[in-house]
Amino acid sequence: MQNEFLKLGNRVPVLKIGIPPMFSTIFFPEVLNAFEKNHPDIQTELDEFGSVRACDLVQNEKLDLAIVNMEQFNIDKFESCILAKEQLMYVVSKKHPMAKKKCMTIEDFRDENLLMFNVDSVQNELLKNRFDQLKLNPRIIMRSSQLYTALKFIENGSCGCFLFSDMLPHFKQYKGIPLEPPIDVNIGIVWKKGNFLSHSAQLFIDFAMQYCSENITT
């Protein structure tokens, strides 16, 4: 019995991390795999949510940490650190009519078929603000929470979606078009303000910051 209690006492709690769909497919697996190799004793549990929902779950202590788009009105409610600086790009098939453009203004989207991510995605709000400035109602043909679904839809050349610039090297079969003026965003880690930060969480934050500084071009 004494040995069993000692084993229980030595267990490290599971580190629960929220991650948006756009990061969970491309960017985050590399960070997580490298972290697990360096810290095999720490068990992580990932949950996929949009940035807005992930922040709510951190605030309600359902998640320890979340990787999020930090361009949110309430981001000051959290402790945070920036991992990378990104830019939103309009991504289309190379046979799409817009594929030859060097940049796009919001006015160019007046007659475009758009695929957007779900409403808990911060990028939706950033884009909505741009559309509202011109009183433009975008033609949204689908909302999705899955990056794979979005890419399959744009393959036929009839619509486009918005992704981060650092993702484009992974999808060379598509064309990324910058926006003018650009929409720049910070990607970072958040945790609840005033909460005790576990040793595992602190190790992950430090590791992710170091990894991103060495492997991501900002």
Q: Given a cut of 70, is residue 12 above it in pLDDT?
A: no
pLDDT at 145: 79
Q: What is the mean pLDDT of residues 145-171?
A: 88
Q: In this structure, are strands 15-19 and 44-48 parallel, antiparallel, or unpaired?
A: parallel
Residue 22 has a pLDDT of: 77
| Beta strands 113-117; 174-178: pairing state | unpaired
pLDDT band for 23, please (50, 70, 90 cuts): confident
**Alpha-carbon torsion (129, 50, 57, 37), positive or negative:** negative
pLDDT for res 148: 85
Distance CA(19)–CA(39), nearest Å, equals: 20
Question: d(Cα 27, Cα 8) in Å, to the nearest integer?
Answer: 34
Tokens in use for 5? 């209690």
> What average pLDDT does the segment 53-58 reach?
94
- Would you say residue 6 has pLDDT above 60? no
Closest to 127 (Cα-Cα) out of 91, 84, 89:
89
Averaged pLDDT, 55-66: 96
Residues pairing with 179 in the sheet: 104
